Amino acid sequence: MPATAGRNDPCPCGSGKKYKKCCERVVAIQSAEQAREERERKIKSRLVTELNDWFERVCTREIDEEWSIRFKEFLHLPVDKPIPSSFAYTYRFWLLFDAPCYCGQRPVDFWRKRVRKRSSDVERLMDELSGVHLGCYEVTDIQGDEIRLRSLTEDREFPVKLSEPIQKGMLMIARLSRLVNGYELFGPYTSFGVEMRGEILMYLKNQVQKEGNLKREYWQQNGLQVLGWLMERAREREQAEKLTEETGPEMLSESEPASPGEEETPVIAAGTGLFRIPRVPEEEAVLPEVVGQQLNLFLEKHVARFQTKTRELYRESLALLKEYIAGYFGKGFTWSLLNERVLSHYFGVWYVDSGKGGPVKSRIFLNTSKELFRWIREEAICDIYPDFVPVYKECIRMLPLSFEAARWFRENESSMESESPTVEGTFKLAVSAAGVSLEAGGQWVPLQVNVRGLPPAWTDSRFWVNGTFSVTLRGARLIGVEAVYPSLEIMEEQPV
């Protein structure tokens, strides 16, 4: 579905302003910045390739052997074995931008001094590459795909574009490189959960007492050692938590203690929280003629004044509504049947099942529907707008989140074979700062997912997930996902 309106049309974001006075300016500025960012990325990519090719020619076997041993020692890797392939990228960036391994200098500094007579833009980007080095940063704010990183060694914050899931309070060992009006993560980086923050700050405080400061020179010389120590501590914590889980008491009912090793799979009724409407027989699935005429009138009187792209958005939304009305009500449909309960099913269940939605598409779908229901009231056809408003208020946030959650859960499905029995159906999931829980057999059990990767915007949200799970009273694992629905209060307040 196109997401761009005509310049004089209402902005699809729902602000009520004309597109040219709302999102068009933002889109134009963003497009210019994106084009400049892409140009700079390409130039930097070529420069890094040039730097790497040069270092390949001048790096001797003795240099590689000496510094590969240091690398393995810093990261607590076996010194007598080759560097694992998973660390090859990290090793290369460390050699080029941090290790004083060539004539007592970092390769990037030596290379920069010998390369001359380039354009001003290329010279500027070469200077910026010389400023790249390992550092430690705290995530202080998250706004969409932009985060703010605060340096732990200097009183400064950096706006960084990052589309990957991350949580506020996490710490990162990374390299930053300027990109137009902001910064980007340059090369491999490692992030640590909020639970590691105290240990990291204490470690750095001790280093300050020893070194006097933790400025750029310290990180160039010791950044990899800090990373190695943190990775080792993270592994130790993970092993300790695993040992506690394996040896700790089972959280089962006091009245029915479990036998050693026994895990009970709760009995769960699938789909009990989603309101479903029976379809009419196929031969009766016809849109009432008068409703078709009213929708055509809406197109002629309200939508025709818009430009082509906007009209297409409305037509696609109306096509979905016609399909829904015909399939669930047929010739017996009247507008008064669209109460809160039915509208919550239309937007919160059927629209998800239709397979035609997405995070952006769902917002446009809701806002074009809002205009239709307003028009129906203004034309004195029927006043269903009061029933629509509470559904809209919940769905405008939760429906896009549901599509984002579906993608995230699919990317984080368990790839391990389940030893416990699996169950299929629709289950309620609750997201909190502590993680994700699944309602199973009247109890909430933890769902094993990558908690560090959960988007902070999902905190205190609930979803219905249709999929396959491995569930015991001690926990659950997600095996496969069919669909994710918003958990709407309006829907659940109604008797099912």
Strands 422-432 and 182-185: unpaired
Q: What is the pLDDT of residue 195?
A: 67
Return the ∠ at Cα 98 (arms to 95 and 99), rounded to 5°.
55
Distances in Å between the Cα of 448 and the Cα atoms of 143, 422, 485 are 27, 14, 20
Q: What is the pLDDT of residue 419?
A: 58
Q: What is the pLDDT of residue 95?
A: 92
Cβ atoms < 10 Å from Cβ of 148: 17
What SS3 state is found at 15?
A: coil
Q: What is the pLDDT of residue 237?
A: 60
470 and 420 Cβ atoms separated by less than 8 Å: yes
Q: Which 8-state DSSP code applies to residue 76? A: T
Chain centroid to CA 331: how far? 43
Residue type, 200: I
Low-confidence ranges of the chain (pLDDT < 50): 1-3, 243-272, 493-496
Token duo for residue 299? 């197109």
Q: What is the pLDDT of residue 261?
A: 40
Chain centroid to CA 440: how far? 26
321 and 369 Cβ atoms separated by less than 8 Å: yes
Say how far apart CA 248 and CA 256 lie, in whole Å: 17
Cβ atoms < 10 Å from Cβ of 485: 25
Q: What is the pLDDT of residue 223?
A: 79
What is the crossing angle of helices 216-247 and 61-74, to 10°? 50
What SS3 state is found at 12?
A: coil
Distances in Å between the Cα of 306 and the Cα atoms of 270, 313, 314, 315, 378 are 44, 10, 10, 12, 19
325 and 333 Cβ atoms separated by less than 8 Å: yes
* Closest listed residue to residue 140, CA positions, set 106, 169, 110: 169
176 and 183 Cβ atoms separated by less than 8 Å: yes
Token duo for residue 406? 């579906």
Q: What is the pLDDT of residue 241?
A: 52
Percent helix, strand, coil in the chain, to 5, is 50, 20, 30
Q: Which residues contact 122 (CB under 8 A, 6 or more apart)?
A: 43, 47
Token duo for residue 416? 């391990």
Q: What is the pLDDT of residue 88?
A: 87
Which helix (H) or strand (E) segment holds residue 481: the answer is strand 475-486
Residue type, 394: E
Residue type, 262: E
SS (H, E, C) 179-204: ECCEEEECCCCEEECHHHHHHHHHHH
Which helix (H) or strand (E) segment holds residue 249: the answer is none
What SS3 state is found at 356?
A: coil
Which helix (H) or strand (E) segment holds residue 294: the answer is helix 289-298
What is the crossing angle of helices 88-97 and 23-58, to 10°? 80
Q: In this predicted model, what pLDDT tens digit does every residue of 243-278 receive, in sequence order?
A: 434 433 333 233 333 333 444 444 444 444 567 788
Residue type, 124: R
291 and 325 Cβ atoms separated by less than 8 Å: yes
Distances in Å between the Cα of 174 and the Cα atoms of 70, 97, 98, 147, 415 are 19, 12, 12, 14, 29
Strands 182-185 and 146-151: unpaired
* Closest listed residue to residue 315, CA positions, set 303, 301, 323, 330: 303
